[in-house]
A = this chain, B = another copy of it.
Amino acid sequence: MSKFWSPAIESLVPYTPGEQPRIANLTKLNTNENPYPPAPAVTAVIQAFNTERLRLYPDPDASTLKQALAAEFSTETSKIFVGNGSDEVLALAFMAFFRQPKPLLMPETTYSFYDVYANLFAIEHTKIPLTSDFQIELDNYPSENGGIIFANPNAPTGVALPLSAIKTLLERNRDSVVLVDEAYVDFGAESAASLVDQFPNLLVVQTFSKSRSLAGLRIGYAIGSAELIDGLERVKNSFNSYPLDMLAIEAACASLSDKNYFEQTCAQIIATREQTRQALETLGFEVLPSATNFLFAKHRELAGSELMAYLRERNILVRHFSKPLIANYLRITVGTDTEMQLLIDTLKQHPAIETKPAP
């Protein structure tokens, strides 16, 4: 602690992102990045970009991107918000909606940044345990709350809720904001975006970082009632007028223009995921059902930390969380078929791992 710091920051425990090491020949399955490049249209707009324009500020409203997203979701631009990655969108949403007299509710096991935001903005919050099979049970969320946030599919478990469960929650929770973080939704879950017109308290947050292969450009967005979007805009315009740069705005629009590429790469990742899941099961792993581009898996005999270290020594990076409830699990990003084959082959070489028939 420094005497120059605001007293409130002493107790902050910042979020720890997955490692971004610069080592050659690394198989990087630790930060849920897409193994495929962004759509060819993205490359085209970046290569054709007239850099003389960079002397000017970008459009503070990123109107072209809002229009493209509104078309994508068959809605109006007044229901779309954009930001510097979905992390910034989430941070602004915490400021705009969750600084309430009642506590914010979140799953006990979920994206660990929620807890960090709540501490940054001094938001009282209550963590609701998952079920024993790592499901979010929305019936356990009390109606007295200052907001509800969860990821669907959840992270780092990969498990998805059906849309019907979210709708039931919304029907009985109409007085506070329900934020559904859909960072991974394009890999097989049902989006709640279709419910936005029915529920003015629903905010759906998505990102270009995973399914659109644009983690390097930092583009996130939210879909919600004009009332919620207006709240986000007020906070954003009191914080940073221009969070999205010109190249990010144009690349995001280009990505949205190529539906085929998007659908094909998502389908390929889903196919690779299911093959990998089966292969892991034959090696003695229990794998949670995943609707994401990662698998959450534990070996029946080996500790998660030991397996992570074993793989790391062999230049394969996976993510491990040293938290009691999930310490035996590895979070393994779905890469290309070749990368996943290398993972499986490397695991097979572990002296304590034997191949068994699938259960």
Assuming the A-B contacts A4-B176, A4-B231, A98-B6, are A242 and B17 also in contact, with contact meaning beta carbons closer than 8 angstroms in the complex? yes
Tell whether, in the assembled complex, residue B9 and residue A34 are in contact, meaning their CB atoms are under 8 Å apart.
no
Tell whether, in the assembled complex, residue B246 and residue A97 are in contact, meaning their CB atoms are under 8 Å apart.
no
Of chain B, the residue at the smallest CB distance from A28 is B56
A85 contact set on B, CB distance < 8 A: 240, 242
Tell whether, in the assembled complex, residue B216 and residue A55 are in contact, meaning their CB atoms are under 8 Å apart.
yes
Tell whether, in the assembled complex, residue B240 and residue A87 are in contact, meaning their CB atoms are under 8 Å apart.
yes
Of chain B, the residue at the smallest CB distance from A63 is B22
The answer to whether the Cβ of A37 comes within 8 Å of any Cβ in the partner chain is yes
In the assembled complex, the Cα of A85 lies from the Cα of B84 at a distance in Å of 12
**B-contacting residues, A196-222, CB 8 Å:** 200-201, 209, 213-218
A228 contact set on B, CB distance < 8 A: 2, 4
Nearest-Cβ distance from residue A141 to partner chain B, whole angstroms: 17
A217 contact set on B, CB distance < 8 A: 54, 245-247
Assuming the A-B contacts A14-B237, A37-B52, A55-B36, are A97 and B6 also in contact, with contact meaning beta carbons closer than 8 angstroms in the complex? yes
Assuming the A-B contacts A46-B46, A51-B37, are A231 and B56 also in contact, with contact meaning beta carbons closer than 8 angstroms in the complex? no
29 A–B contacts, CB within 8 A, in A order: A2-B230, A4-B176, A5-B231, A6-B97, A6-B98, A8-B99, A14-B233, A14-B236, A15-B238, A15-B241, A17-B60, A17-B242, A37-B52, A37-B55, A43-B51, A47-B47, A47-B51, A54-B214, A54-B216, A54-B251, A55-B214, A55-B216, A58-B218, A84-B243, A87-B242, A120-B239, A215-B242, A217-B246, A247-B247
Of chain B, the residue at the smallest CB distance from A123 is B6
In the assembled complex, the Cα of A175 lies from the Cα of B12 at a distance in Å of 22
The count of chain A contact residues (Cβ–Cβ below 8 Å) is 86
Tell whether, in the assembled complex, residue B33 and residue A51 are in contact, meaning their CB atoms are under 8 Å apart.
no
The answer to whether the Cβ of A100 comes within 8 Å of any Cβ in the partner chain is yes
The answer to whether the Cβ of A296 comes within 8 Å of any Cβ in the partner chain is no
How many monomers of this chain does the complex have?
Answer: 2
Could you tell me the dominant secondary structure of chain A's interface residues?
loop
Assuming the A-B contacts A2-B227, A9-B235, A234-B9, are A57 and B17 also in contact, with contact meaning beta carbons closer than 8 angstroms in the complex? yes
Tell whether, in the assembled complex, residue B216 and residue A58 are in contact, meaning their CB atoms are under 8 Å apart.
yes
Nearest-Cβ distance from residue A333 to partner chain B, whole angstroms: 11
The answer to whether the Cβ of A337 comes within 8 Å of any Cβ in the partner chain is no
Assuming the A-B contacts A84-B84, A240-B85, are A33 and B15 also in contact, with contact meaning beta carbons closer than 8 angstroms in the complex? no
Partner of A4, one of B38, B200, B213: B200
4 further contact pairs, Cβ within 8 A, besides A38-B51, A217-B246: A6-B95, A9-B96, A55-B213, A57-B209
The answer to whether the Cβ of A321 comes within 8 Å of any Cβ in the partner chain is no
In the assembled complex, the Cα of A214 lies from the Cα of B242 at a distance in Å of 13
Assuming the A-B contacts A12-B235, A17-B242, A216-B246, are A201 and B53 also in contact, with contact meaning beta carbons closer than 8 angstroms in the complex? no
A98 contact set on B, CB distance < 8 A: 6
In the assembled complex, the Cα of A13 lies from the Cα of B53 at a distance in Å of 30
The answer to whether the Cβ of A323 comes within 8 Å of any Cβ in the partner chain is no
A251 contact set on B, CB distance < 8 A: 54
Tell whether, in the assembled complex, residue A216 and residue B4 are in contact, meaning their CB atoms are under 8 Å apart.
no
The answer to whether the Cβ of A20 comes within 8 Å of any Cβ in the partner chain is yes
A28 contact set on B, CB distance < 8 A: 56
In the assembled complex, the Cα of A14 lies from the Cα of B230 at a distance in Å of 12
Tell whether, in the assembled complex, residue B216 and residue A245 are in contact, meaning their CB atoms are under 8 Å apart.
yes
A31 contact set on B, CB distance < 8 A: 56-57
